[in-house]
Structure 1
Amino acid sequence: MVFDRKFAVSGVALALAACASAPAEKPKSASATPPAPRAPRPWPADAYPSTYRPYPSVPTLVTNVTIYDGEGGRIDGGSVLFADGKVVEVGRTIAAPAGATVIDGTGKYLTPGVIDVHSHLGDYPSPGVSALSDGNEATSPTTPEVWAEHSVWPQDPGFSRALANGGVTTLQILPGSANLMGGRSVTLKNVYARTSQGMKFPGAPYGFKMACGENPKRVYGAKGRMPSTRMGNVAVNRQTWIKAADYKRKWDKYEEDGKGDPPGRDLAMDTLAGVLSGKILVHNHCYRSDEMANVIDMSKEFGYHVTAFHHGVEAYKIGDLLKANDICAVVWADWYGFKMESYDGIRENLAILQKAGTCAMIHSDDQNGIQRLNQEVAKALAAGRRAGIQIPDEQAWIWLSYNPAKALGIADRTGSLKPGKMADVVLWNGNPFSVYTRPEKVWIDGALLYDANDPKRRPVSDFELGQPGEGDVK
């Protein structure tokens, strides 16, 4: 109901005039039965809300350390204080509060935790057997109704490997790329939990996985059905968006006038209507620059926004177009050439995108690569410098934390070492862009979840090898 101030004032004046000349009586339009409440709008339909609870933390001060703050800043000989799960202060000289744990970081580096915007951990867990392959609902070209969180296996040892070896504190779990519309993604904090809801990043928006190019046309063309071509890909997408727009219009009309029964629920259309409403963020698997441009045109036709193109092997060709449309490029350092649509990749991709002012970042898409994203960035930095694009190390950390947080809609809460943000922090035992460097300690929400020097805070699973000196293996 819209409140009209003009008519409200007029109504009050008329009522006062009536009271002066006649006794008050019950308005004839009044109803003894209040109207039934309208059904709520079904998207983003968080029917499975996060039950995430931070692990206990203690006030911690790391001193004499080189800091990359995640937003391009660097402090040599700096200090960071975090308490109650949040970053409290970042600077050079910080007094330790009573009872704080103080760590001397001389010769070491401190950064925000790594954020992987494209992972399939939990949906394609280890061991990699068909019984655990739950990332692709490859039964229809469009499956917006499926949610990745319903396949996540929290016991996947890949999570603890990413934490211990890669300093990964947050990650987005996506459906696979067999389908044009693969379903909803979920953003997780990389903590030990019994359920996916216990890992779910509180308040993070849902993502929506889409895919361009060879994968969907190969999977469904091989079954003798549409799509089997790139033009078929776009046609199926557009036809589906037409249905979603109609579904959303029906809900908008129902909410506007409140008449009749609510429209019938449709899980697939709920997700797509959430995208059209800007509540669910589109993450689109796409290699070729021409296809990215086609998707941008399609998004404008139906009024949704593409948050990021993933893999983006040819993103360097259209950095200006991506920047103009506020779309992030999610890329690898040097994965290319393994199929035709990835043929035109170059190692300078990330550096060129950074020079163009495009929101760019690294990603893994791989259970092994997620353990060394810092090294992947080091490769991209070196390639850019060989090409004459000089990007400082501290600026490159944006590719590992702040820009991924931006693409996930959580940059106001994590992704950089700023007061008030989550204390998702990694202490590296050397320069994090060296192949010889490993995380020494990893905190999530200020809780120490990994410590290379403490056997009680190292990952333990049936699929991990023992540490040197452990057990009695000869």
Structure 2
Amino acid sequence: MSLEISKRILAIALGLSTFVLVSCGNSTKKPEEQAVEINQNPFPSTYRVIEYPPVLFTHVNVLDGIGGYFEDTSVLISSGKIVSIGNDKNVSSDTLTVDAKGKWLTPGIIDVHSHLGVYPTPTGNAHSDGNEATAPVTAQVWAEHSIWPQDPGFQRALAGGVTAMQILPGSANLVGGRGVTVKNMPGVTVQDMKFPDAPYGLKMACGENPKRVYGDKGGPSTRMGNVAGYRQSWADAQDYQRSWDKYYAEFDAGKDPKVPKRDLKLETLALVLKGEILVHMHCYRADDMGTMLDVMKEFNYKITSFHHAVESYKIADRLAADGVCSAMWADWWGFKLEAYDGIQENIPMVHAAKACAIVHSDSELGIQRLNQEAAKAWANGNSVGLAISEAEAWQWLSSNPAKALGIFAQTGSLEKGKNADVVLWSANPFSTYAQAEEVYIDGALVFDRNNPAMWPVSDFELGQPGEGDSK
């Protein structure tokens, strides 16, 4: 090959390589030219819907979860969704028919306040992981990183008709950390249970608990110290968000700004200020709730619900005006001073004020019979002249919790197109004698009281020696 030809080939090769470099440079920016983006979903849900044939319930009494009652009707579920309510006979050949004459169908119960998995049973210090009681504000911790999916309490709750729940950190701290909403399905990891696309909750607490826990640890030791702690935390979160807003603005302007240092605590609080995380606040007294509503408005964030809230009846008009739910017990009160002024008509009085009333558990035992807790509150309301129907009262267990958790578009009521999270009860679910006979999550039968062979069992309980075993 002549020297001249070799030079020409080299020139062509260099030209092609230059073209490739220029083309790549025009298609994307170099890594150092990309703004830093924080992954806000580093632990995505791995939940999968179970495939199951369509199911037609016939001759069933229905509480639809949004105030409606239908007697002796049919409900069709298919492909994980509610298809219809009414005597619809247009069903496919593979449809399973359930003769539910004399029985009742409701949306699955949703518990907004549970500690299953973070305070599992059997109780022991080794897996008691609900309170990161090391500082008054621990917004950086996430309850899902403490949840033990083998907690047998999940299966007990399923037998009580609970199809979804929010697992929260405990209430030692002003800000206890993120809660997570889960489907009540067995899983190897919590991500297998995680409700897809449900927003995170932030657990906060006011009143006696934080000042009791931190009074001898440098504070806060008073209610005024509590409030100062919240306010400073929100102010710090505002500064943190401004630093990132400035970074992005300068980057977009073609400058070379310094990337702010990531702070997991302030990141969570900043997401609350942006409306992406919902605040659930442990609070008993009406005056404390009023103060927290003022702080909410000062920093322009949203308290989705007050939990326990034994004095909500005193402030129900403000809860209604501000669109804040109240998650309550039917009749727990008096076990500490801030819980002293509870009344058994609390839940129905909040409902009567047109505020969002919720029945919650905060108990591995209470979660197994939340229908009975709602029945007690309903009866107590009616006994003082608050004429609330059973259909209205079921909102306390399904649609109102779903709204508080930000998942009402997916579940919480029997409406066409929503997730088929339903419970078939042996009798009127407001009866003491009613039992959850069948529980469906996303249209799949996951609990059948009449078929013990298919009852979900925790891995922890398998192989445990029972009565009469010789080993």
2:390 counterpart of 1:387: no
CA distance in 1, matches of 2:350, 2:301: 23
Kept after mapping to 1: 8 A contact 2:330/2:374: yes
Q: State the partner residue of 1:83.
A: 78
2:337 counterpart of 1:343: no
Give the length in aligned residue pairs: 437
Q: Deviations over 1:183-242 (max 9, x none)?
A: 00000000011000000000000000000000000000033x110000000011111111
Match of 2:433 among 430, 436, 445: 436
CA distance in 1, matches of 2:296, 2:280: 12
Kept after mapping to 2: 8 A contact 1:154/1:194: yes
Kept after mapping to 1: 8 A contact 2:150/2:459: no
> How far apart are 1:461 and its partner, in Å?
4.3
> How far apart are 1:285 and its partner, in Å?
0.4
SS in 1 for 2:355: coil
Match of 2:191 among 197, 218, 222: 197
CA distance in 1, matches of 2:305, 2:403: 10
SS in 2 for 1:159: helix
CA distance in 2, matches of 1:427, 1:32: 55
Kept after mapping to 1: 8 A contact 2:150/2:460: no
2:100 counterpart of 1:105: yes
Matching residue's letter, 2:421: D
1:313/1:254 Cα in 2 relative to 1: closer, same or farther (>3 Å)? Answer: same
> How far apart are 1:132 and its partner, in Å?
1.3
Match of 2:225 among 221, 232, 245: 232
Q: Deviations over 1:384-431 (max 9, x none)?
A: 011100111111100000000000000000000111100001000011
2:312 counterpart of 1:318: no
Match of 2:52 among 43, 57, 76: 57
Matches of residues 9-408 of structure 1 in structure 2 within 5 Å? 36-41=33-38, 45-164=40-159, 166-223=160-217, 225-258=218-251, 259=255, 260-408=257-405
Q: Deviations over 1:1-57 (max 9, x none)?
A: xxxxxxxxxxxxxxxxxxxxxxxxxxxxx9997671111256xx2210111111221
Q: Deviations over 1:254-273 (max 9, x none)?
A: 22231413211000011000
1:69/1:39 Cα in 2 relative to 1: closer, same or farther (>3 Å)? Answer: same
Kept after mapping to 1: 8 A contact 2:151/2:460: no
Kept after mapping to 2: 8 A contact 1:207/1:283: yes
Matching residue's letter, 1:381: W
Runs of 5+ consecutive residues of structure 2 not aligned to the other structure: 1-25
1:421/1:124 Cα in 2 relative to 1: closer, same or farther (>3 Å)? Answer: same
CA distance in 1, matches of 2:461, 2:347: 33
CA distance in 1, matches of 2:149, 2:373: 26
> How far apart are 1:120 and its partner, in Å?
0.3
TM-score when normalising by structure 1? 0.89
TM-score when normalising by structure 2? 0.90
SS in 1 for 2:258: coil
Matching residue's letter, 1:400: L
Q: CA RMSD in A?
A: 2.0
CA distance in 2, matches of 1:31, 1:422: 42
CA distance in 2, matches of 1:81, 1:33: 52
1:265/1:388 Cα in 2 relative to 1: closer, same or farther (>3 Å)? Answer: same
Matching residue's letter, 1:171: M
> How far apart are 1:94 and its partner, in Å?
3.5
Identity %: 58
Runs of 5+ consecutive residues of structure 1 not aligned to the other structure: 1-29
Matching residue's letter, 1:135: G
> How far apart are 1:464 and its partner, in Å?
7.2
CA distance in 1, matches of 2:328, 2:190: 26
